[in-house]
Amino acid sequence: MKHNTPGIASRAFGKAGGKEVDLYTLTNEQGMQVQVSTLGATLVGVFVQDKHGEFDNVVLSMASAEDYLADTAFLGRTVGPVANRIAQAQFELDGVSYPLDKNDGEHCLHSGPSGLHNKNWDASGTVTAEGCELRLVAKHGHLEGGFPGNKQVEVRYLLGHDNTLRIVFHAESDLKTPISLTNHAYFNLAAGGDVLSHQLQLRSGAITPVTDTLITTKDFMPVVNTPFDFEPAKTIGKALVSDHKQMQIGSGYDHNYVLNSEGGPFAVIADPQSGRRMTVSTDMPGVQLYSANFVQGTQNAAGEQPFQQYAGVCLEAQNYPDTPNWPDRPDFWVSPERPYQAFIQYDFDVLSEI
């Protein structure tokens, strides 16, 4: 799939809540394309070349807004106001307890059904000399889903002519509130099958281990001599058969890695067969590595066979899980005087030696 004319186009993508949903396609000078839906500010497509120059979509996707409304795997969605799990679906702020929606057993996952992933965002596009930019904005009201503050959220997708995709997050609130945004894209650089043979390098010395219900213990577990060590690089499938307790709890990788990348690269993932490689950078303190342990059965984009287990891998750069219940992490809180700002960047290229 290649379109030589750079720019931004849009088309109808279905309906949500009786309102039209649009799908925007950003194209750069090299023919790389990025598709974003206004429902959930969702990353629907990332079309990049393989070693033969063939373009294909390297994120798991579905065919329409209606399919995404029925999706429970958060495919490509912008999630928030607080990504990941919040223990017992509640937190305390300045002596006030805030109950949240329970959608993951007794816990709240990705802010529950009224989270940003189910909003229909307003979008506008701009083409510059550097590439294409799509700006999406949404509001999340006071006590919506239980979260305090009237929140204004902005996500910008910037596709550069150098085959970089940068996602910039910004949020403001009229009250003190927790904010932790991310994108929940499932990447598969082979554009099909599973990701078990993908080579991953992840620069981190520790994870935050989890309980049996996948809530972080707020400890730090060194990754050395464990299946969680991805330095040097190894295949994702290599350690999935491990008897390590943390691997058994989540039936694979579903853990937060502690980062100190300070805006630089923290991960490189490659598919030797297609030759595609992706380098990921962020200024956020953590990343949730999720190996699509439970994505099997989810409908795929063409309505063909459902996705198989381990069909993609998520590298969800974000604040630590259970963000509002980390009292010693003041950087997790947003206030009228302190807005939220963060980014994730993906750089795509082809391996020079295959």
- Is 84 one of the annotated binding-site residues? yes
> What is the share, in percent, of the chain residues with pLDDT greater than 90?
86
Is 186 marked as a binding-site residue? yes
Cross-sheet strand order for the sheet of 151-160: 122-127, 131-140, 151-160, 164-173, 340-350, 276-282, 265-270, 199-202, 230-235
Q: How many domains does the chain have?
A: 1
184 is catalytic: yes
pLDDT band, residue 308 (cuts 50/70/90):
confident
Residue 201 falls within a domain, yes or no? yes
Per residue in 18-55, pLDDT tens?
999 999 999 999 999 999 999 999 999 999 999 999 99
Q: Classify residue 178: in a domain, yes or no.
A: yes
Does the residue 118 lie in any domain?
A: yes
Distance of CA 9 to the CA centre of its chain: 23
* Strands of 7-16's sheet in order across: 7-16, 19-27, 33-37, 42-49, 55-57
Say if 162 falls within a structural domain. Answer: yes
**pLDDT for residue 1:** 46
CATH number of the structural domain spanning residue 308: 2.70.98.10
85 labelled binding-site residue: yes
User: Is 1 a member of any domain?
Assistant: no
Give CA angle at 348 (346, 352), nearest 5°: 140
Percentage above 70 pLDDT, the chain = 95
The answer to the question of residue 248 being in a domain is yes
Is residue 184 marked as binding? yes
- pTM of the model as a whole: 0.95
Instruction: Kindly state the helix (H) or strand (E) to which residue 332 belongs, with its residue range.
Output: none
Catalytic residue among 107, 140, 170, 184: 184
276 is in an annotated binding site: no
Task: Check if 142 is active-site.
Answer: no
pLDDT, residue 303, reads 54
pLDDT in tens, 144-171: 999 999 999 999 999 999 999 999 999 9
- What's the domain range around 216? 7-350
Average pLDDT, integer, range 5-9 = 94
The 8-class DSSP code of residue 163 comes to: S
pLDDT tens across 204-249, in order? Answer: 999 999 999 999 999 999 999 999 999 999 999 988 888 899 999 9
The average confidence (pLDDT) of the chain is 93
Any domain includes 2: no
